[in-house]
Amino acid sequence: MAEETVIVEEKKKVKEREPLFSKKNKKLITDPLDENNPVTIQVLGICSALAVTVQMKAAVVMSVSVLFVLLMANISVSLMRNLIPNRIRIIVQLVVVASLVIIVDQVLKAYLYDVSKELSVFVGLIITNCIIMGRLEAFALGNKVWPSTLDALGNSIGYAMVLVVVSFFKELFGSGKLFGMEIFGNATEGTGLYAMGYMDNGLMLLPPSSLILVAIYIWVQKMRNPTLIETH
């Protein structure tokens, strides 16, 4: 009797293939959005997160570029993970990422020239964006293709979230616009809110304000989720 149940259980185990969106896989996507956010908790990929946030359009284009590069890099490194010799894995990863970034750069130059000009060197800096190297090292090298895909999606969306929130405040209060559309009226003609004496906050356009905004983001996030608070 006992043996039979064991056999039945074993059969069950063989039959039970992991569904595409099992609990574990879902966690791969949702974790980086809050509890394990690449920017605010893992503290990776900050250079670009802070530098391209003056306008929402640039921030969105940057997020999409990072999404593409991280997704493709995670998938290809995960496919090659058994072929890459351990000693030269950093160089292999750099070459994969650099080739993908060249594609992104050429596409941006061809179809979105003004945004590409504004992002300037920061498109190239996706190569050394620690989120990408970090995810390749920590995840894609040791996991199958599907979990790596989900991991890439989750992390790049987590990255995009911070970028969009920071650039929203910077563009709205720095130049009174969102995606280039005037929200508070026209500053030079003095219409809308500007007629009542409202003024743009020039500080918001300067680099230090993004640092302060990210600090506030971290503050709010950790206040909502006290388990993330660092102890020392």
Partner 1 sequence: MDLVNIFIRSAFVDNMIFAFFFGMCSYLAVSKTVKTAVGLGFAVIFVLTVTIPINYLIENYVLKEGALTWMGDEYASVNLNYLTFIMFIAVIASTVQLVEMIVEKISPALYGALGIFLPLIAVNCAILGGALFMQEKQFANIGQATVYGLGSGVGWFIAVVLIAAIRERIRYAHIPGPLRGVGMAFLITGLMGLAFLGFMGFEI
Binding stretches for partner 1 (CB under 8 A): 40-41, 43-48, 50-51, 90-91, 94-95, 98-99, 101-102, 105-106, 120-121, 124-125, 127-130, 133, 206-212, 214-215, 218-223, 226, 228-232
Question: Given the complex with partner 1, which of 24 and 109 has the nearer CB atom?
Answer: 109
- Rounded to 5°, the CA angle 19-83-87 comes to 120
Nearest approach, Cβ of residue 216 and partner 1 (Å): 9
Nearest approach, Cβ of residue 58 and partner 1 (Å): 14
Question: Given the complex with partner 1, which of 102 and 195 has the nearer CB atom?
Answer: 102
Question: Given the complex with partner 1, which of 148 and 210 has the nearer CB atom?
Answer: 210
Question: Given the complex with partner 1, which of 46 and 56 has the nearer CB atom?
Answer: 46
Nearest approach, Cβ of residue 191 and partner 1 (Å): 31
Q: How far, in Å, CA of 85 to CA of 134, rounded?
A: 18
Nearest approach, Cβ of residue 164 and partner 1 (Å): 18
Q: How crowded is residue 158: how many other Cβ atoms within 10 Å of its Cβ?
A: 25
Nearest approach, Cβ of residue 220 and partner 1 (Å): 8
- Exposure on the CB side of residue 35, measured as CA atoms within 13 A: 6
Collect all residues with Cβ–Cβ distance below 8 Å to 97 and sequence separation of at least 6. Answer: 69, 73, 126, 127, 132, 133, 136
- Rounded to 5°, the CA angle 215-140-71 comes to 70
CA distances in angstroms from 26 to 124, 145, 154, listed in the order given:
31, 15, 9
Nearest approach, Cβ of residue 116 and partner 1 (Å): 13
Question: Given the complex with partner 1, which of 122 and 146 has the nearer CB atom?
Answer: 122
Question: Given the complex with partner 1, which of 171 and 184 has the nearer CB atom?
Answer: 171
Residue 11 tokens, joined: 């059969």
Q: How far, in Å, CA of 124 to CA of 101, rounded?
A: 7
Nearest approach, Cβ of residue 104 and partner 1 (Å): 10
Using alpha carbons, select from 166, 158, 218 the residue that is nearest to residue 31. Answer: 158
Helix (H, G, I), strand (E, B) or coil at 182: strand
Measured between its terminal Cα atoms, the distance across the chain in Å is: 56
